[in-house]
Amino acid sequence: MKVLVAVKRVVDYNVKVRVKADNSGVDLANVKMSMNPFCEIAVEEAVRLKEKGIATEIIVVSIGPSTAQEQLRTALALGADRAILVESAEDLTSLAVAKLLKAVVDKEQPQLVILGKQAIDSDNNQTGQMLAALSCYGQGTFASKVEVSGDSVAVTREIDGGAQTVSLKLPAIVTTDLRLNEPRYASLPNIMKAKKKPLEVLTPDALGVSTASTNKTVKVEAPAARSAGIKVKSVAELVEKLKNEAKVI
């Protein structure tokens, strides 16, 4: 079974981002970039499926600037077989990304596509669902467990009140939640080997996809700052403040 994994290059999750002074966006100059944490979990799940003998080939795809090749090489070092970069310097919306991924899915015909549930920059949580709609495939979002058997996949999903299990016909789309697995680290020999694995570069034009958007970001602001609080000395003082000053209990 062929498995396609989508990965995104995002600002590292430990970075405290700053909004640009002109409110045009977030300042990403000279900031550490990494693979989106949910995408790491997606790569790990694909590699585990290969280790179990279920997946035969893992193709990793990223859509973004040429620097996203770093994240693709990371995925190759973790166990993906080959990579595809759809190069676009623009900031694409989830729908545009889903359309580009659909073109890659049509080309590669994977049985399973694994994505992260959301990217930690845009926090959209849309691309997997949109790709599923465009491909007319079933979707197993927020997955905490994935079991492939025959021509279907059982996905246990994290939902608001607990967990839900659905069964999807293959081919299908899965988006990963945090507790699906614990991603491994790339070893130095594997990082060296990854440099020799194939990486194909495509463009939206070559795939025949329009990335026009119905959304426009007007401005980006810093959130309202909380006014500085105080430190209390004792539980008694805390209770007194909550009762008489904040009046919340």
Partner 1 sequence: MTVLVIAEHDNKVLAPATLNTVAAAVKIGGDIHVLVAGQGAGAVAEAAAKIAGVAKVLLADNAAYAHQLPENVAPLVAELGKGYSHILAAATSNGKNILPRVAAQLDVDQISEIISVESADTFKRPIYAGNAIATVQSNAAVKVITVRATGFDPVAAEGGSAAVEAVAAAHDAGISSFVGEELAKSDRPELTAAKIVVSGGRGMQNGDNFKHLYALADKLSAAVGASRAAVDAGFVPNDLQVGQTGKIVAPQLYIAVGISGAIQHLAGMKDSKVIVAINKDEEAPIFQVADYGLVADLFEAVPELTGAL
218-237: contacts with partner 1 (CB under 8 A): 218-223, 226, 229-232, 234-236
Q: How many residues bind partner 1 (CB under 8 A)?
A: 78
- Under a CB-based contact definition with an 8 Å cutoff, are residues 206 and 90 in contact? no
- Under a CB-based contact definition with an 8 Å cutoff, are residues 155 and 146 in contact? yes
Work out which of 31, 192, 201, 238 binds partner 1, going by CB under 8 A: 238
- Integer Cα distance of 96 and 209 in angstroms: 8
Nearer to partner 1 among residue 123 and residue 196 (C-beta): 123
Q: What is the largest CA-CA distance in the chain?
A: 68
- Asked if 211 touches partner 1 (CB under 8 A), the answer is no
What residues numbered 154-193 form the site for partner 1, per CB under 8 A? 154, 157-169, 172, 177-179
Which residues 6+ apart lie within 8 Å of 164 measured at CB? 156, 157
Nearer to partner 1 among residue 72 and residue 96 (C-beta): 96
- Integer Cα distance of 17 and 39 in angstroms: 20
- Integer Cα distance of 198 and 95 in angstroms: 27
Nearest approach, Cβ of residue 221 and partner 1 (Å): 5
> What is the per-residue DSSP string for 108-166?
H--SEEEEES--TTT----HHHHHHHHHT-EEEEEEEEEEEETTEEEEEEEETTEEEEE
Nearer to partner 1 among residue 136 and residue 188 (C-beta): 136
Site string for partner 1, 31-60 (x = CB under 8 A): ------------------------------
What residues numbered 84-143 form the site for partner 1, per CB under 8 A? 93-95, 98, 117-118, 120-134, 136-139, 141-142
